[in-house]
Amino acid sequence: MKLPIYMDCHATTPVDPGVLEAMLPFLREHFGNAASRTHSFGWVAEEAVDRARVQVAELLGGEAREVVFTCGATESIFLGLCGAARARREHGAHVITTAIEHKAVLGSCAWLETQGFEVTTVGVDRRGIVDPDEIRAALRPDTVLVAVMAANNEIGTLQPLAEIGALCRARGAVFHSDAAQAAGKVSLDVGEIGCGLMSLSAHKLYGPAGIGALFIAPGVTLAPLLHGGAQERGLRPGTVPVALAVGFAAAAEVARREMAREAQRLTAYCDRFLRRLRRARPDLKVNGTLEARLPGYLNLRFPGIQAEDLLATVPELMLATGAACASGGAGPSPVLRALGLSAEEVAESIRISLGRFTTEAELDVVLERLTAAIARLESA
Ligand SMILES: *Cc1c(COP(=O)(O)O)cnc(C)c1O
């Protein structure tokens, strides 16, 4: 068995070998600038970016003209939320979001507050799911924007997007969904969801880091936040990284092709792993719900065992206690706290995510080493 074993696909995923193959020609011979109009290097690059835009749009059930490439989901989210809020300022200054959003959303909302917007934060239930009725109750005539993520990055729970989308549509609020975790893992259709904006990141779906996308539905206008170029409809000025766009698109294609099969496999692996872990540790608790979540995502709690100690005992297992971007002394995970867990319970929680390249043999090793480590900590 090759160590270490990577089980932190919430944080990032390895680039799929097919994706890398698709990218290489655009780093070697086809290195042109997609905005060069006077020679074939430019045309080849432009055509590749156009094709990439179609493929990324297809992953969401959208149209190529509705996709703007950015450097990642954080940028897409900031552009989407702040761009839409500012463009709709005269309609009102109220924004709704949830307590379990990624830092990128919460940070954008905090920035909007400094710009005079009022933000209402809706909670979640014990499973980590937003009640659409709470969104309904929070909607006001001056609500311009609602931000609810598609799937959470710590517990993997999926949200009732279509219901929320319908509410927003009826009330004239723009609905943004952060789909950085969900895209490529469960099927998403922007039309069915009724979202005006959706944010994506390539490195969460076996594509390269450094590129993301913002889906913008027809009729949703954004005030640009960056100025200095006409690329990406003037919303994202700067030279488009062609190889990254090609890699993102290739990753979207693989995801679309493999999604159903992969979900089935990861769910089966996960079920078996949990069954065996439960047998070894009957006190095991699952944070969130197993009912509506991304395949292969687990957030577990071993009562009486400090997660930090546990992870330190098994450095050969790449696991995490919470969001990568919140790690490093940010205090107990706000996501787990929002589920109603106490600070002590949060400190006992770890997240494990299986990915495309996870094998059953790896899971066997994780099971064995984790249970041995827990037993060691208990007897210490
Ligand atoms: C990773 C992640 C982001 C940020 O994406 P980057 O491309 O790394 O900026 C935003 N939201 C969620 C839910 C994520 O998991």
- Successive 10-residue mean pLDDT values, the chain, 380 residues: 93 97 97 95 97 98 98 98 96 97 97 98 97 98 98 97 98 97 98 97 98 97 94 94 98 98 97 97 96 95 96 95 61 92 96 96 97 94
Residue 44 Cα to ligand 1 midpoint, Å, equals: 30
Q: Which atom of ligand 1 is nearest to the CA of 323?
A: 15
DSSP string, 234-275: GTS-S---HHHHHHHHHHHHHHHHHHHHHHHHHHHHHHHHHH
Using DSSP, state whether 280 is helix, strand or coil: helix
The per-residue pLDDT for 327 is 52
- Yes or no: say if 246 and 22 are a contact pair by the CB < 8 Å rule: yes
- pLDDT of res. 325: 54
Catalytic member of 71, 109, 168, 325:
325
Buried b (16+ CB within 10 A) or exposed e, 283-297: eeeebbbeebbbbbb
The ligand 1 atom at the shortest distance from the C-alpha of residue 76 is 9
Three-class SS of residue 360?
A: helix
CB distance 77 to 178 below 8 Å: yes
Task: Scan for tokens 């959208």, then name that residue.
Answer: 62
CB contact burial 343-356 (16+ within 10 A = b; e otherwise):
eebbbbbbbbbbbb
CA distances from 210 to 62, 70, 242, 256, 363 (A): 22, 8, 11, 21, 30
Closest by Cα among 119, 55, 53, 109 to 81: 109
Here the tokens at position 8 are 């932190």
Radius of gyration of the chain (CA): 21
**265 conformational bin, left if phi > 0, alpha if psi -120 to 50, beta if neither:** alpha
Q: Rounded CA gap, 143 and 146, in Å?
A: 8
Does the CB atom of residue 79 touch ligand 1 within 6 A? no
pLDDT value at residue 323: 66
Q: How close is the Cα of 180 to the center of ligand 1, in Å?
A: 5
Residues 6+ apart with CB under 8 A from 137: none
Give the total residue count for the chain: 380
pLDDT, residue 20, reads: 98
Q: How many whole angstroms separate alpha carbon 120 and alpha carbon 113?
A: 10
180 CB near ligand 1 (under 6 Å): yes
**Phi/psi of residue 56, nearest 5 degrees:** -65, -40
**Among protein residues, the one whose CA lies closest to atom 9 of ligand 1:** 74
CA distance 100 to 320: 17
Run of H or E residues at 67: strand 67-70
Spatial CB neighbours of 37, under 8 Å, sequence gap ≥ 6: none
Ligand 1 midpoint to CA 236 (Å): 18
Nearest to 183 by CA among 251, 95, 267: 251
Q: What is the pLDDT of residue 332?
A: 84
| Helix runs in 172-241, H state only | 190-193
pLDDT score, position 1: 81
What residue's CA is closest to ligand 1, atom 3? 73
Q: 């071993």: which residue's tokens?
A: 302
Closest-CA residue to 109 (of 209, 118, 100):
118
Helix axes 103-114, 73-87, angle to 10 degrees: 30
Cβ of 181 less than 6 Å from ligand 1: yes
The order of strands in the sheet holding 297-301 is 285-286, 297-301, 349-353
Give the residue among 46, 54, 80, 50 at the shortest CA–CA distance from 252.
54
Q: Reply yes or no on whether 325 is catalytic.
A: yes
- Position of tokens 């390539």? 202
